[in-house]
Amino acid sequence: AQSVTQLDSQVPVFEEAPVELRCNYSSSVSVYLFWYVQYPNQGLQLLLKYLSGSTLVKGINGFEAEFNKSQTSFHLRKPSVHISDTAEYFCAVSKSVGPGGYQKVTFGIGTKLQVIP
Amino acid sequence: GAVVSQHPSWVICKSGTSVKIECRSLDFQATTMFWYRQFPKQSLMLMATSNEGSKATYEQGVEKDKFLINHASLTLSTLTVTSAHPEDSSFYICSASGQNEQFFGPGTRLTVL
């Protein structure tokens, strides 16, 4: 079974400061890794994903994440946050299952990023 | 990325009534779709996997007779909450399976009075 741990339920940070949201995963097989953002009363928006290749992944809105296989981590970073980054962030892992090979996704509990003006 | 829509986006109903939520993949065909439930300040929990032309696979603890799922075509899956009660109030999100990822709908907020 696969699992995702987001250690920080809330992260307050001042505007224009850097931020790191932590994510660790466990899985017995190779997985794909994702970060999603959710604004209040809205669905999920994909920030970035790691499927293979370069371990440093760049996403939308200036976010990036680094896949570290030895530490089973996929931490999300942004060098300078904006008020509009205030939202809930979910780390997720997926693996291929079933004869059709569809992706089954497991989510972390989420980290609420609160940007302080 | 691919686009998934949900309808309605917000629904309020009386206790005991049934509510149907539609999930559509707008620009691709999805053999497999998923239904998630999200309670306030919590993560998404997978309810069931919906396979086109066959019965849905429900996660442990999810009542299949209460949450009816139909995936009649490659672009449409429906979730019907039967005899809804206040404890069913939640945010329901669907997704459609792509090659390497799932594409999520915008969600449906269900409030049962």
Which residue ranges of chain B lie beneath pLDDT 70? 1
Q: Please give, rounded to a whole number of angstroms, the shortest distance from the CA of A107 to a CA of chain B.
A: 7
Return the percentage of chain A with pLDDT > 70, whole number.
96
Question: Tell me: the pLDDT tens digits for B56-69?
Answer: 999 999 999 999 99
Tokens 């049962």 appear where?
Answer: B112
Of A44, A90, A100, the CB nearest to B31: A100
Q: How far is CA A13 from CA A17, A66, A78, A108, B89, in A?
A: 7, 21, 11, 21, 32
Average pLDDT, integer, range A6-30: 93
pLDDT at position A98, please? 64
A-proximal residues of B, 15-54, CB under 8 Å: 31-32, 34, 42-44, 46, 49, 51
Question: A103–B97: do the CB atoms touch at under 8 Å?
Answer: yes
pLDDT at position B1, please? 65
* Residue B95 forms contact with A (CB below 8 Å): yes
Cβ count within 10 A of residue B51: 20
Measured distance CA(B49)–CA(A101) in Å, rounded: 13
